[in-house]
Amino acid sequence: MVRTPLTPWERERGERFGALLREARGTRSMVEVAAAAGISSETLRKIETGRAPTPSFFTIAALAYALDLSLDSLAAACAEPNDDEALSA
């Protein structure tokens, strides 16, 4: 299966998502957070560095739970500027 290349926006969104996770993780280790979310530390590293900019919903939900973040706040932080209206509808 050939994967469609990511757009510049998708790459930027992945980098913002990764930065948000790193900030939320704070002083907790990557291994600790990954274990709490039930994913590998390598997967978390790839997400945090933007190398895996489109993680699955279940991975995002598990990370949100492990980091005590709401899915709404994650969606809002990663939405395109003109998507704000769509998210509040």
pLDDT of residue 52: 87
Indicate the CATH number of 8-88 among 3.40.190.10, 1.10.260.40, 2.60.120.10, 3.30.830.10.
1.10.260.40
| pTM of the predicted structure, to 2 decimals | 0.81
Which two tokens mark 30? 């990557």
What's the pLDDT tens digit per position in 29-83?
A: 999 999 999 999 999 999 999 888 889 999 999 999 999 999 998 888 888 766 5
Residues in the chain: 89
Which helix or strand (DSSP H or E) is residue 69 part of? none
The whole-angstrom separation of Cα 48 and Cα 87 is 24
pLDDT of residue 22: 94
Local structure of residue 6 (DSSP, 8 states):
P
Per-residue confidence at 2, pLDDT binned at 50, 70, 90?
A: confident
- Please enumerate in sequence order all residues whose Cβ is within 8 A of that of 85, keeping only pairs 6 or more positions apart, or say none: none
All structural domains of the chain with their residue ranges: 8-88
